[in-house]
Amino acid sequence: MSTTVHLSPYPPPMRALLIPFALLASPATAWEATSAPICTLTHETAEAHIRLTYDPSKPLYTLAITQKSAPWHPTPWFAMRFIGPNELVISTPQHALSDNNQTLNVADSGFGNVLDGLQFNTTALAFTEAQSVTIPLDGAAPEVQKFRACAAAQLS
C-alpha cells in the first residue's frame, strides 16, 4: 500500500487550475535604477508608469507619472504625499502635462524630498485636486539609494 503526500494544501487538479490565476496576478514591475547615460529610476504599477531622471548636463531632476487609463486633468497644482514612518507632503504649481495629458511632469534642480519620500516610506500618493495615483514603495529603497549614488557620482 502506498501513501501519497501532498505538500500543497490543494490537490493536484486544483493546483493546475490555480496556476493561470497566479500568473495573471503577477506583481508590478520592480523599482529599477540605471546609470547610463543619465541616472534613471523607474517603476510600473497597474495604474501608472513612474520615471525619475537626473541629467548632469543641465543639471536637472525630472519626475514623469504616466497614467495608463484616464489622462491627467489640468489643475493649478500637483502634490505627493508619502505615507509611512517618515511622512511628508510636497506640492508645486510648476508641473506640466504631455502625451495628450497622460503624463504629468515636474522638473527641479533638487529632488531631495522626493527621494527621501520614496526611500523611507511605504506608499506614495501622487495627486492633483482632480485625481490621484497610488504608488506602492515596496522594494524602492535600495533602488533609490542606487539612483542617489549615480546622481552623486555625476556631481563629482
Q: Could you report the per-residue pLDDT of 110-146, keeping only the tens digit for each?
A: 999 999 999 999 999 999 999 999 999 999 999 999 9
User: Domain locations in the chain?
Assistant: 29-155
Question: Could you confirm whether domain 29-155 is CATH 2.60.40.1880?
Answer: yes
Measured between alpha carbons, how far is 133 from 125 in angstroms, rounded to an integer? 6
DSSP single-letter state for residue 25: T
Q: Could you report the per-residue pLDDT of 61-107, keeping only the tens digit for each?
A: 999 999 999 999 999 999 999 999 999 999 999 999 999 999 999 99
